[in-house]
Structure 1
């Protein structure tokens, strides 16, 4: 493994792949101090105010004169808001259909969608019904569920909002899209919706707005109508118990990969994320798209400074403009709340070598591969066009993944450098480690080691490994996070707007 990586000839920094002592040789210069693994080293003099470049892109500006061999990090690198000159549809690379169509073993639903899991969901409309939902789901233990081998479990999806909010606008509409997305998700064989009765987020409004009809595998009730918590829990258990034999009738059968939507996610990132795991996941996304499938990138604040690369891949100007519109909304949103787009990276990201949101975003965007951007969607909006898509969301992983699942994703691919302990339901999550040291330390949590790309494994080989694992997990193989039971507490709808 090389001691450092230069990502482009135009870069004036390189990234250390191991901890380096002062006085070590790097591209004709000597390190001036200790350089932690993953951190940047100047390989040329950078004057105060001059651009610092990595990935052949600007990741910030020198806050002081930086000498060759100096450690470049947040102490001498400053952030400035993006002022990009956007181009649209100038980097469109045609997708060559795969020579051989791949399949996975999935659950075909009557509406034409395909599930990778077969859960019964208990979905709440408001925090006031959260306890009832958990009591209902917790009533179904291993002994009873053993009678229904084709059912993956009964899961409560509870949240902390649903009332004390405006009955219209971005926040209300986003919550309704999340509820609809989970109510109609292909990984759910049956759904029970539980409300209080007087909340702003009325279940009946949702059913009417989205054309959802009640039936044996879709039920709804309110605590106030049923006459109390105890009776609601008893009735809910009765309703779910009636669904179980029907849900158990579902069986896996061969399904085309074109039916898959995969959430492309990252968390606990480090400097290796944009060098190993994220590009490898991007190649896996390209393989998925070649099969007619869909990869969904999200976390709008974490493409800030890289969005100009995505607009060049937009299938048309209107799609690119939608992405730019999201960036402008986030600039205004953070300003109104007296924040900064550079609030991200987190302390853990910085310890791993990331200095500014621009640097983090350039690495994060690599998860989207190289194919055309076919659509830009609101948070939790149903993704309707195959190919590479973008969904608006915050950078907070649970909220972002909740939106991606609501948009229809049946799988989650999650890269991490620091070691995120994340998992999700009903869409299983695979974890991709950016470095081998963390992978070895957290083998119970990590599904793929992308750190070996630093010692000879190619991008194409690692991307293929990830793609094939996704198909196995889609067919029923448990991911590491799924085997540990993660996902019951990671349902976090994005709360937008005032709490009143």
Structure 2
């Protein structure tokens, strides 16, 4: 590699190593010689000049830390000599202009999606089974065994009953394409969780909104919901949340309350029969053309590294801007990883009300973390730090690049459903699983997930596309990576080219022409955020 050093923003005072640099090596940058006085591993940062204690550290054009010790020019930045620091914002101070990208290439593009009665269009056709309370987890597990394993190793009377409904004798396996009962156009997904009772009532209310969002998600054709009856998350609370979210849902939602029905056997007979009949109807829904503007794309990162903010994340920024220009929706989550870039995002908000909501949610989140004895500065994981993200502000400034440069049209709290075309901000933790779960509950039909270290996680109802920040992880973990943005680091492609490649991939994915690696591996992860606890 000819050039081993880059500066991300002209106002930065640190350089990023694109490859390992040994102590004593001399490298040119902008015509100047830089002598490494320590080893600087790829992805890590080198001081552009001498720093005294307290001097600001700038990257991506924003404050990302301060010198905790004297740092010499050419020395590597570490958690020992740099401490987290970020600019504080309190209100919207101006408007940030935006020039929309040219989207002629995609404006007439369509994808083959599942049209719902309310006008949303899904990229999958899923029938969802879930409990309102953890007491019903075992029954959901049993239903999964019955519906997904029609010929289990141990004969099951309920599986035999389902086979009889499918037109086969008790001991006969239904023949593929035998009749309309063969389900070849729908996926069955089964959620389990640890909430719905105990804890604080607010967590149950939030869980109701999350489940309402999953049922409302365009990838879902309908749902089977199990309730015990005595739990905090009552059926009425869930139904109210769903109706408030979408009074014109137009989907079949079957609910069963065990304490009202009676015996488990009676309940299973009803659940199996009614669900199977509804699933057969949902199976008849066919893919039809839809404009790209009908897609809602979630944006997140996990297992980030020092290259994430200069390759994969800004490539997602290109994607977000393209969808905004096309009239589609994108959702940027992970509020702990927006620490330090609040002012830019507030100035991008379409009005002061949205900006105030954003900073209010950020401040409330940080207060809850501090009250638990931690802080946003504790967000970077050991893996982040090892691979060059040594402060939360540094991680955040790179993470925010996923949102591109378009206006922020709305700000959503966890459990709120996306409505406005353009870029939306969603309050979630940085925790990968809780974030993905929240994005899908807010309406994301596709999730883009950048990673520098590798993460296999997916979601039960929305495809999760893994974009690697470096070629090494793409090659080493090829079974989980869908798109390699490491070509930006090697100079093979530009950020714009990779972003456009991802847009084309999304359209192909939305039409059912390709599957994500996470879906192939059945990485169906569903973990709701408990607001009564603390999660970064």
The question of a shared fold, defined as TM-score above 0.5 by the shorter chain, is answered with yes
CA distance in 2, matches of 1:83, 1:264: 24
Q: CA deviation at 1:229?
A: 4.1
Structure 1 residues 85 and 178: alpha-carbon distance in aligned structure 2, compared to 1, 3 A threshold? closer
Question: Superposition pairs for residues 38-77 of structure 1, below 5 Å?
Answer: 38-77=43-82
Q: CA deviation at 1:166?
A: 3.5
Q: Secondary structure at the match of 1:385?
A: coil
In the other structure, the counterpart of 1:252 is 287
CA distance in 1, matches of 2:76, 2:250: 63
Q: CA deviation at 1:180?
A: 0.7
Q: Secondary structure at the match of 1:20?
A: coil
Q: CA deviation at 1:79?
A: 1.6
Q: Secondary structure at the match of 1:59?
A: strand
In the other structure, the counterpart of 2:422 is 387
TM-score between the two structures when normalised by the length of structure 2: 0.88
In the other structure, the counterpart of 1:480 is 517
TM-score between the two structures when normalised by the length of structure 1: 0.94
Over the residues paired in the alignment, what is the CA RMSD in angstroms? 2.0
Q: Secondary structure at the match of 1:35?
A: coil
| 2:114 corresponds to 1:107 | yes
Q: CA deviation at 1:88?
A: 4.2
In the other structure, the counterpart of 2:213 is 181
State which of 499, 504, 508 in structure 2 corresponds to 1:463. 499
CA distance in 2, matches of 1:355, 1:201: 41
When Rg is computed on C-alpha atoms for both structures, the one with the higher figure is 2
Question: Which consecutive unaligned segments of at least 5 residues does structure 2 have?
Answer: 151-173, 177-181
Q: CA deviation at 1:137?
A: 2.3
- Give the paired residue count: 494
Asked if structure 2 preserves the Cα contact closer than 8 Å seen for 1:207 and 1:213, the reply is no
Partner deviation per Cα, 1:321-347 (whole Å, 9 max, x = no partner): 111111111121111111111111000
Asked if structure 2 preserves the Cα contact closer than 8 Å seen for 1:24 and 1:31, the reply is yes
| 2:226 corresponds to 1:197 | no
Structure 1 residues 145 and 113: alpha-carbon distance in aligned structure 2, compared to 1, 3 A threshold? farther
Q: Secondary structure at the match of 1:7?
A: coil
In the other structure, the counterpart of 1:332 is 367
Partner deviation per Cα, 1:110-143 (whole Å, 9 max, x = no partner): 1111111001100211111111112212322377
Asked if structure 1 preserves the Cα contact closer than 8 Å seen for 2:296 and 2:445, the reply is yes
| 2:146 corresponds to 1:139 | yes
| 2:220 corresponds to 1:219 | no
In the other structure, the counterpart of 1:34 is 39
Question: Which consecutive unaligned segments of at least 5 residues does structure 1 have?
Answer: none
Partner deviation per Cα, 1:138-176 (whole Å, 9 max, x = no partner): 32237769622111x211112111101333x4x333212
Question: Superposition pairs for residues 295-374 of structure 1, below 5 Å?
Answer: 295-374=330-409
Asked if structure 2 preserves the Cα contact closer than 8 Å seen for 1:17 and 1:38, the reply is yes
Partner deviation per Cα, 1:383-438 (whole Å, 9 max, x = no partner): 11110000111111111111111111110000000001111120111100000011
Structure 1 residues 427 and 368: alpha-carbon distance in aligned structure 2, compared to 1, 3 A threshold? same
Q: Secondary structure at the match of 1:52?
A: strand
Structure 1 residues 41 and 216: alpha-carbon distance in aligned structure 2, compared to 1, 3 A threshold? closer
Q: CA deviation at 1:310?
A: 1.0
CA distance in 2, matches of 1:30, 1:63: 22
| 2:90 corresponds to 1:90 | no
In the other structure, the counterpart of 1:22 is 23
